[in-house]
C-alpha cells in the first residue's frame, strides 16, 4: 500500500522556550542526526537569547538544512530539547507508521531525489520546499510489523557500515598516538628537536585557477576541479570535485598526482590549513586557487607523509589558524609568506622514516577497511531500494 506522507505526519504546534527551562540544545549533522551542542553553544556565545528556539519533544521529527541531503532525524535523546528556529518539527501518527521506518525512508535516495526536484530559493544551503510539498510525497507503507522488520534489517546493515567507520577512526587515533610518542608537541618542543621555519623544508606552494565547476549533469568525461572539501577531513576525497567548463583545459602544472600534499589556504578558522595526502592515482583532476600543493626543495629535509601528519596536529593547525586573516566571520585566508614563516620543531629524516614505516601498516589496514566500506555502502543502497519498493 502507498500513501501520501501528509497522512502520516503533520506540522507540530510550535512551542517556545519558557522562563527557566533548562533544555539541552540540539543541532543537526548529516550522519549523526541530532547532536547535543549545549556546552559548545554556550562557550561560543557569552550571552544568548534562546527565546526564538523551538522546543522539540521526544518522538518528533526534526527537518533541517540542506533538506536535499536528507538532514533530518527523530528526536530520541531527551523528553524535551531545543532546536534552531530554522528547523521544522513534525508530529508522527505512530498508529500507522513505525518512526524508524519513516526516518530511514526520508533519508533514502528516492526521498532525496524528491526534495531536489522541488527545492526553491537561491542560496544553496537555505533552499527549501514550498509549504505543503513535503506532505505530497508518496511512501510505500506495509503493515506495522513489516515496517519494524524492514527497519531492523536496514539498521543491521547500517551497523556494519558504522563498525567500519569506527575501526577506521581508531586507526587514525593509533597514528596520532604513534606521532606523539615519537615526536611530542612540535610547537612546545619538549624533546629539543631543531627548530626551523617552514620555508626551510617547503620551497613554495603552487595552486590552480579560480574557476567555477559545472553541475554533475555536465559531461562526465570532462576534467574536474577539486572543491575545498576534498581536503577538509584530512583525507583526500577525489569525488569532492566538479566538471570543468567546456573550452577550459587545465595546464599540466595544475593537475594533481598521487603523492601530492594539498593544503587549504581558505576556509573557516577551524578548517583553514587542512592538509591531505593524495594516496590514489588521479586523472584530469585540477587544483582550484584555494588549494595549494606543497613544492619541495631540491634536497628534501622531510617526507611528504610526515609533513601531512605534522600539519594535521592540533598545535600546528592552531599556529596556522593564528596567522589567518579575514574580516568575515566564516572565511579566513592565509598567505604563503605567513605559512612559510612559521617555526616548528623538525626531527631528522631518519626519525621521520621510522614513523612513516610504522604507520604504513595502519594505512594498509585502512585501505582494506575502505574497500570493505565501499562494498557495504553498495549493499546498503541495494537493500534501501528493495525495502521501499516492497521487495525486501
Residue pLDDT tens, the chain, 392 long? 889 999 999 999 877 776 666 788 888 876 667 888 776 555 444 445 677 888 999 999 999 877 877 889 999 999 999 888 888 999 999 999 999 999 999 999 999 999 988 888 765 556 678 888 999 999 999 999 999 999 999 999 999 999 998 998 898 899 999 999 999 999 999 999 999 999 999 999 999 988 776 655 556 677 889 999 999 999 999 988 888 887 888 899 999 999 999 999 988 888 899 999 999 899 889 999 999 999 999 999 999 999 999 999 999 999 999 999 986 556 889 999 999 999 999 999 999 999 999 999 888 888 888 889 889 999 999 999 898 988 88
Contact 317, 311 (CB under 8 A): yes
In the chain, count of helices (H) and strands (E)?
Answer: 8, 21
Contact 82, 41 (CB under 8 A): no
Q: Which helix (H) or strand (E) holds 34?
A: strand 33-36
Report how far residue 222's alpha carbon sits from residue 284's, in angstroms, rounded to the nearest whole number: 8
Q: How far is CA 365 from the centre of its chain?
A: 22
- Enter the pTM of the model: 0.70
Report how far residue 41's alpha carbon sits from residue 27's, in angstroms, rounded to the nearest whole number: 10
Contact 86, 51 (CB under 8 A): no
Contact 280, 371 (CB under 8 A): no
How many Cβ atoms sit within 10 Å of the Cβ of residue 26?
25
Contact 342, 273 (CB under 8 A): no
What radius of gyration do the chain's Cα atoms show?
24
Report how far residue 341's alpha carbon sits from residue 198's, in angstroms, rounded to the nearest whole number: 6
C-alpha cell at 62: 526534526
Report how far residue 97's alpha carbon sits from residue 52's, in angstroms, rounded to the nearest whole number: 31
Provide, for the chain, the percentages of residues in helix, strand and coil under a 3-state DSSP scheme, each rounded to the nearest 5: 40, 20, 45
Amino acid at each position: 500500500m502507498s500513501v501520501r506522507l501528509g497522512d502520516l505526519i503533520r506540522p507540530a504546534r510550535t512551542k517556545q522556550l519558557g522562563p527557566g527551562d533548562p533544555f539541552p540544545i540540539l543541532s543537526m549533522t548529516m550522519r549523526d542526526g541530532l547532536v547535543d551542542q549545549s556546552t559548545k553553544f554556550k562557550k561560543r556565545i557569552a550571552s544568548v537569547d534562546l527565546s526564538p528556539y523551538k522546543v522539540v519533544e521526544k518522538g518528533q521529527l526534526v527537518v533541517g538544512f540542506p533538506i536535499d541531503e536528507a538532514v533530518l532525524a527523530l528526536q530520541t535523546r531527551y523528553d524535551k530539547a531545543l532546536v534552531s528556529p530554522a528547523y521544522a518539527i513534525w508530529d508522527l501518527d505512530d498508529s500507522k507508521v513505525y518512526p524508524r521506518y519513516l526516518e530511514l525512508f526520508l533519508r533514502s535516495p528516492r526521498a532525496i531525489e524528491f526534495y531536489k526536484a522541488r527545492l526553491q530559493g537561491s542560496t544553496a544551503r537555505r533552499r527549501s520546499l514550498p509549504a505543503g510539498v513535503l506532505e505530497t510525497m508518496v511512501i510505500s507503507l506495509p503493515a506495522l510489523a513489516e515496517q519494524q522488520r524492514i527497519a531492523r534489517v536496514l539498521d543491521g546493515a547500517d551497523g556494519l557500515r558504522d563498525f567500519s567507520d569506527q575501526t577506521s577512526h581508531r586507526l587514525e587515533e593509533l597514528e596520532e598516538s604513534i606521532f606523539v610518542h615519537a615526536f611530542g608537541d612540535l610547537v612546545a618542543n619538549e624533546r629539543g628537536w631543531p627548530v626551523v621555519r617552514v620555508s626551510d623544508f617547503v620551497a613554495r606552494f603552487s595552486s590552480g585557477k579560480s574557476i567555477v565547476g559545472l553541475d554533475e549533469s555536465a559531461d562526465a568525461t570532462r576534467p574536474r576541479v577539486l572543491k575545498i572539501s576534498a581536503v577538509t577531513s584530512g583525507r583526500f576525497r577525489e569525488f569532492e570535485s566538479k566538471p570543468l567548463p567546456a573550452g577550459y583545459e587545465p595546464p599540466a602544472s595544475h593537475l594533481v598526482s598521487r603523492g601530492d600534499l594539498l593544503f587549504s589556504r581558505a576556509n573557516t578558522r577551524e578548517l583553514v590549513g587542512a592538509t591531505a595526502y593524495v594516496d590514489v592515482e588521479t586523472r584530469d583532476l585540477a587544483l582550484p586557487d584555494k588549494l595549494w600543493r606543497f613544492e619541495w626543495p631540491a634536497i628534501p629535509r622531510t617526507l611528504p607523509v610526515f609533513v601531512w601528519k605534522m600539519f594535521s596536529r592540533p598545535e600546528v593547525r592552531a599556529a596556522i589558524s593564528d596567522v589567518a586573516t579575514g574580516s568575515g566571520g566564516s572565511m579566513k585566508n592565509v598567505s604563503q609568506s605567513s605559512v612559510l614563516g612559521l617555526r616548528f620543531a623538525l626531527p631528522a629524516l631518519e626519525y621521520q622514516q621510522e614513523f612513516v614505516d610504522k604507520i604504513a601498516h595502519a594505512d594498509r589496514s585502512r585501505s582494506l577497511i575502505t574497500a570493505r566500506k565501499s562494498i557495504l555502502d553498495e549493499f546498503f543502497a541495494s537493500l534501501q531500494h528493495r525495502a521501499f519498493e516492497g521487495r525486501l
